[in-house]
Amino acid sequence: MIRSISTINRSMNVLQEKQENASANIANISTPGYKFQNIIASTLESHNLINHQGGPHVNRRVGVGGFIFGNQIDEVYSDFSQGNLYETEKATDFALDGRGFFTIRMDNGTLAYTRNGNFRLNHENELVTLEGYHVLGRDGNGNIGIIYGDENHIHAGEVLITDFNEYRNLRNLGETLYEAEEAGFIMESPFLRQGYLEMSNVHIGDELVRLIEISREFESHQKLIHAADETLSKAVNEVGRV
């Protein structure tokens, strides 16, 4: 019986992470290029329970069946489906329609990838993200480097777009940046739109339903704990009474 409480507890822990994830998605409902994240739970491995009771010597082996002692997080994935495009008419704003990622060089020199094309020019006239990381581009000779503004305008053809075969291997770094485990390849003709931003792909309805699901599930878990508690209380306080 005490084991059932810990089983429910494990499931509640998963629900709390799901709630945190849903809140994070909702908080980023207006973040351009944000891709919603989902948590998938699975059960722990089932264990066979065996009783030894009955029979002449009270040692007959009775298989009770498979038991599962809780849930765990099985997968955390980002959904890379397309977000809506929103017109901003700013020359430093870009949106990708379809596959691909903007290539960003962070301050420590490592490369990161983003769908958030909300860029600006810094004081040195270089195209940077809101955090000040450099956006990489490719000039006419194929050299890869920083993009410079031309009279406050950016030539869309210079922006370097990287694509990957498998988006599953991208790791979420925060600040709408992703880190790649495997090397990507340069996309030759991306559907790049200047003066647009790709909005977050979080669906309000889905997240709201998720919030309701989580809180109702939590409620039933709480009820289960009470039921287990009551049974335990009976076992402890009443069964032994003469």
Partner 1 sequence: MYRILSNSRTGVRAQETKVNSLADDLANLQTYGYKKKEIGFQELITNEIHHHDVLKSDNVDHSRINVGTKAGVATVNFQQGILVPSESDFNLAIEGSGFFGLLDQDGNLILTRNGGFQLNEDNSVSDDNGRLLVIDLEISKENWATGPVSISHDGRITQEIDNENRVLGKVVLFEPHVLDSLAPLGESGYLPAADVELYSSMENPERFGKIIQRHLEASNVEMSRTMTDLIVAQRAHAMNIKAIQSTDEIMNMINGIKR
- The residues binding partner 1 (CB under 8 A) are 10, 13-17, 19-24, 26-32, 34, 37, 39, 42, 44, 70-76, 88-90, 92, 116, 118, 120-123, 125, 130-131, 149, 152, 171-176, 204, 207-208, 211-212, 214-215, 218-219, 222, 225-226
User: Shortest approach of partner 1 to residue 89 CB, angstroms?
Assistant: 7
User: Shortest approach of partner 1 to residue 133 CB, angstroms?
Assistant: 11
Residue from 139, 116, 140 nearest 128 by CA: 116
User: Shortest approach of partner 1 to residue 53 CB, angstroms?
Assistant: 31
Residue with tokens 């002449």: 56
Q: Quick check: 184 and 162 in contact, CB under 8 A?
A: yes
User: Shortest approach of partner 1 to residue 197 CB, angstroms?
Assistant: 9
How large is the angle between the packed helices 204-237 and 2-27, nearest 10 degrees? 160
User: Shortest approach of partner 1 to residue 52 CB, angstroms?
Assistant: 30
Phi–psi pair at 33, nearest 5 degrees: 75, 5
Listed in sequence order, the residues at least 6 apart from 11 whose beta carbon sits closer than 8 Å to its beta carbon are: 70, 71, 221
Q: Quick check: 161 and 101 in contact, CB under 8 A?
A: yes
Neighbours of 50 (CB within 10 A): 10
User: Shortest approach of partner 1 to residue 139 CB, angstroms?
Assistant: 19
Kindly tell me which of 225 and 232 has the beta carbon lying closer to partner 1: 225
Burial class (CB in 10 A: 0-12, 13-18, 19+), 219: exposed
Angle at 92 between CA 186 and CA 34, to 5 degrees: 65
> Which helix H or strand E contains 51, and what residues bound it?
strand 47-52
Kindly tell me which of 93 and 162 has the beta carbon lying closer to partner 1: 93
Kindly tell me which of 186 and 218 has the beta carbon lying closer to partner 1: 218
Kindly tell me which of 130 and 235 has the beta carbon lying closer to partner 1: 130
Kindly tell me which of 146 and 186 has the beta carbon lying closer to partner 1: 146
User: Shortest approach of partner 1 to residue 44 CB, angstroms?
Assistant: 7
CA distances to 5, 118, 147, 195 from 28, in Å: 35, 15, 28, 21
